[in-house]
């Protein structure tokens, strides 16, 4: 079903843990379901796969890092998301890299979720995963470090082609998958509540 009242064919939501990307996905999925929009969480998919293959200790509430997957599997899933954005419509795709993977894909609204107060972000992880503050700090730091190292190795060519050659970064800039310049909307969930974040995206996709 095509929504003729929309400025965009698809939406991506990206952001580090605790910034509200999954919450925004769920709100948009509910709000837009009668217009034919569908939601996809890369994290949910990967966790289900990891559990099925015995790569994940399901007794632990904390989320795992990308090192449990092979490069080939990661790339297959990531490019599958990019193909959806290129060939289909009315998708809301949420994952750490979905906005990066949407670079150069016409008709995609790329939303970056951030939280300018790390203490608030850590508190959200504490509540989500039922762990203490020190565990949360250690977990999110190590998880980001491992993921960024892997993806930087895997996607350096794509970064040059999609970002540097497109004029969004210089060849000397470090690879930053959450560089605000490569997104259409940046939402700071420290200063903006869930309803405001939802309305910001809805306003962007609706034609005047």
* Residue found under tokens 């039922």: 130
Longest Cα–Cα distance of the chain, Å, equals 49
Report the distance separating Cα 129 and Cα 141, nearest Å. 15
* The token pair that represents 39 in the structure block: 């939601």
Kindly report, residue by residue over 154-196, the tens digit of the pLDDT: 999 999 999 999 999 999 999 999 999 999 999 999 999 999 9
Question: What's the pLDDT at 3?
Answer: 53
Residue 61 lies in a domain: yes
Asked if 107 and 100 count as a contact pair (C-beta separation under 8 A), the reply is no
Least confident of 33-37, 54-58, 110-114, 116-120: 54-58
User: What CATH number should be reported for the domain holding residue 91?
Assistant: 3.40.50.300
In 3D, which of 39, 56, 38 has the Cα closest to residue 47? Answer: 56
Report the distance separating Cα 198 and Cα 192, nearest Å. 10
Residue 3 lies in a domain: no
Asked if 24 and 112 count as a contact pair (C-beta separation under 8 A), the reply is no
Residue 4 lies in a domain: no
Range of the domain at 167: 10-205
Residue 2 lies in a domain: no
Average pLDDT over residues 97-103: 97
Residue 159 lies in a domain: yes
Kindly report, residue by residue over 6-58, the tens digit of the pLDDT: 789 999 999 988 889 999 999 999 999 999 999 998 877 666 655 665 655 55
Predicted structure pTM score: 0.85
- Which range has highest mean pLDDT (11-15, 66-70, 124-128)? 11-15
Percentage of the chain beyond pLDDT 70 is 85
Q: Is the dihedral of CA 68, 122, 120, 147 positive or negative?
A: negative
* The token pair that represents 22 in the structure block: 């999954």
Domain count, the chain: 1
Question: What's the pLDDT at 142?
Answer: 86
Residue 1 lies in a domain: no
* The token pair that represents 193 in the structure block: 């509540």
């Amino acid at each position: 079903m095509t929504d003729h009242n929309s400025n965009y064919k698809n939406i991506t939501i990206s952001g580090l843990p605790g910034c509200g990307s999954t919450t925004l996905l769920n709100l948009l999925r509910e709000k837009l379901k009668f217009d034919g929009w569908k939601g996809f969480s890369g994290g949910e998919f990967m966790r289900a796969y990891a559990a099925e293959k015995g790569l994940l200790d399901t007794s632990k509430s904390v989320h795992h890092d990308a090192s449990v997957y092979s490069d080939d599997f990661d790339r297959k899933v990531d490019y599958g998301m990019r193909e959806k954005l290129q060939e289909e419509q009315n998708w809301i795709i949420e994952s750490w890299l979905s906005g990066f993977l949407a670079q150069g894909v016409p008709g995609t609204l790329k939303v970056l979720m951030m939280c300018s107060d790390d203490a608030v972000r850590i508190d959200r992880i504490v509540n989500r995963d039922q762990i203490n503050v020190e565990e949360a700090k250690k977990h999110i730091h190590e998880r980001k470090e491992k993921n960024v190292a892997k993806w930087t190795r895997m996607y350096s060519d794509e970064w040059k082609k999609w970002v540097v050659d497109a004029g969004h970064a210089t060849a000397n800039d470090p690879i930053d998958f959450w560089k605000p310049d490569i997104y259409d909307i940046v939402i700071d969930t420290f200063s903006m509540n869930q309803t405001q974040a939802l309305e910001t995206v809805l306003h962007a996709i609706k034609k005047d």
